[in-house]
Structure 1
Amino acid sequence: MAKRKSVKKPVTPAAKAVSRQSTDSASQGGGLKSLVAMEQESHSSLAAEGQPGQLVDTSDCVGIDQDRVATQDCLQIASALLGQPPVFWGRYFKGPGNKSPVQYQPQDESNFFNRNHIRVLPVARQTNHVNKNDDQLGYKDGLRNAAAIMAAFGASLLAKQAQVLVFLDVEPSGPLNVNYFNGWSRGLTEAGASAMIDFSDEVAAKTLPPSAKISFAPAVYGHHADAATWSALSNAVSAGAPCEAAWVVYMDTNPKFPIGPWLSQYTSPKMPASVPVVLCQRILDYRDAKKRSYDFDLANPDHKDWLLDRLVIPDAMHVSA
């Protein structure tokens, strides 16, 4: 995808803010510091830098994630802070029909993302499960996550993509278990190839080929210093489990905007060498004047095009009054 240029008025972000229990980067010195302490140190300076309308020229590929329904108001605030509209927006997916605003709500958000041409970054959320030594629990969760994503976007839209990237949310308080990930990645990928997905009408209309299926690509979100998670992932990948990408948390002691450029240390030596780091969460739980939370993310320029091709721009929906 071509580099995005700044625009003269803010457009688009909104939707996630996951209160992660992440910590300062160990490599920054001083050990691990609580997120609450970091916020107290940094938010006053962030607010001073991110006034609406102060868009700057940047070539970084940036986005946000939130645990709330996306709105134009949050988009405008995030655009002003980033210096450009977000290219992507992370949202949670758990199971089909989940009405919690923490999860993606297609009837409220699809038109927003379609109109603003923002890609949705799917995040699979069951953080209290990922540390369980339970292959079958992981498998069931992978099936449910896939079903939620298919219900939100429609199977025919997803089948037109080469892959659909899905990040499993892993927090430091509950590091990844190798058997859980084996089951989850298998359930996610098998769901997309299920014979229960009927593309016969699309095939007859020649909008999809006879071999149509949805290729879900498993990936992992975690703190860059979470050695237990990356060790488990390495073992799973070595045993044959698919993992296409990693999204890491890596914050500075005094985070500020702009959040680029990309730095080599965002790829931790603790991580499996075969799994590319495509995203870095640089600022966590920034709160605006209405106490709405935002996370700010930077794409690895070496993998930007690959990443964006695997995120989803929803079709517009007709929503009855």
Structure 2
Amino acid sequence: MNKKMIKSNSNKEPFKIVDSSQPANDLIDKVYSYYNEMPIAWGRYFTTGYPVEYSHNLENNTLHENNIKLLPIARHTNHVGGSYSQGVTDAKQGVNDLFSTFTVNYWKSQGSEFFFFLDVEGNVSGSNGSISEEYYRGWSETLISYSKEKSENSVTILPCVYANYHDNTTFSILIKGEITCYGLWIARYHSSPEKWPSWNENFAVPKLIQNSSIPVFLRQYASGEQVNEEFDLDQTNPNIIGFKERFLNKLILPPSSNIS
């Protein structure tokens, strides 16, 4: 299936993004039916198991043919409050997973820097909490250094964070000057979500972040459960200047066939 793209105007309104714990090829028709257009990117987990983890054998063609970029998510949710050494271990696992899914040469063909969002579920019922400074230092530092090492300095995987709007513990760590975070994806839902709400800066961007140097690139504004769908709904921040260069170019478009 290759639907005609009806892209949002980046100067006036956000772009649509979805994320899911199921393969994109299973949900692509439902996403198109919901929005009557395709999203610009699709969030999928790495460093976990099938079917939750991205499956290139099944999903590459679907995303490629519809010009949908892959937004990779590091699913170490139960570890993020842990030690520095745990962060190092998880970062290496993540880089190895990314570079086994797509070869280093394929990454290089699309750019030199790419985002990887750490899934942090602090302040969410049933979660294992916010990041610890030690874990995040280990994860973020190793993500950069190990990806450079594995690619002979041709590809750098940049640490980003997905977090709940109310997770001030995580944000207070990230805004420290010596901590490296290239961007945020904020989860904040409306009690009765619209199919396509307008962007509200004060509602979408946590107060601790508003005066920091860390950009908020997107917001998850509804869960699948809220809208009776099998995918979550996300929108990009229309106030980001140079959005394509700063965000979209740091996601990868999967190949039309497997790369060996």
Q: Normalising to structure 2: TM-score of the pair?
A: 0.86
| Paired position in structure 1 for 2:68 | 118
2:44 counterpart of 1:91: yes
Tell me which of 230, 239, 251 is aligned to 1:293.
230
Q: CA 1:108–1:57 in 2, change beyond 3 Å: closer, same or farther?
A: closer
| Paired position in structure 1 for 2:257 | 317
Q: What is the RMSD computed on CA atoms of the aligned residues?
A: 2.4
2:165 counterpart of 1:224: yes
Matches within 5 A, 1:174-253: 174-194=129-149, 196-197=150-151, 213-235=154-176, 238=177, 240-253=178-191
| Paired position in structure 2 for 1:208 | none
Matches within 5 A, 1:137-156: 137-156=86-105
Tell me which of 211, 214, 219 is aligned to 1:280.
219
**1:57, CA displacement in angstroms?**
8.4
Query: Helix, strand or coil for the counterpart of 2:137?
Result: helix
Mark the runs of 5 or more structure 2 residues left unpaired by the alignment. none
Query: Helix, strand or coil for the counterpart of 1:257?
Result: coil
Q: Normalising to structure 1: TM-score of the pair?
A: 0.70
Query: Helix, strand or coil for the counterpart of 2:65?
Result: helix
- Length, aligned pairs only: 244
| Paired position in structure 2 for 1:171 | 121
Partner amino acid, structure 2, of 1:293: E
Fraction of identical pairs, as percent: 25
Mark the runs of 5 or more structure 1 residues left unpaired by the alignment. 1-8, 13-54, 199-211
**1:318, CA displacement in angstroms?**
4.8
Q: CA 1:93–1:269 in 2, change beyond 3 Å: closer, same or farther?
A: same
Q: CA 1:109–1:224 in 2, change beyond 3 Å: closer, same or farther?
A: same
Q: Tell me how far apart the structure 2 counterparts of residues 102 and 254 of structure 1 sit (CA, whole Å).
A: 27
Query: Helix, strand or coil for the counterpart of 2:231?
Result: strand
2:55 counterpart of 1:105: yes
Q: Tell me how far apart the structure 2 counterparts of residues 318 and 163 of structure 1 sit (CA, whole Å).
A: 21
Partner amino acid, structure 1, of 2:250: R
Q: CA 1:267–1:258 in 2, change beyond 3 Å: closer, same or farther?
A: same
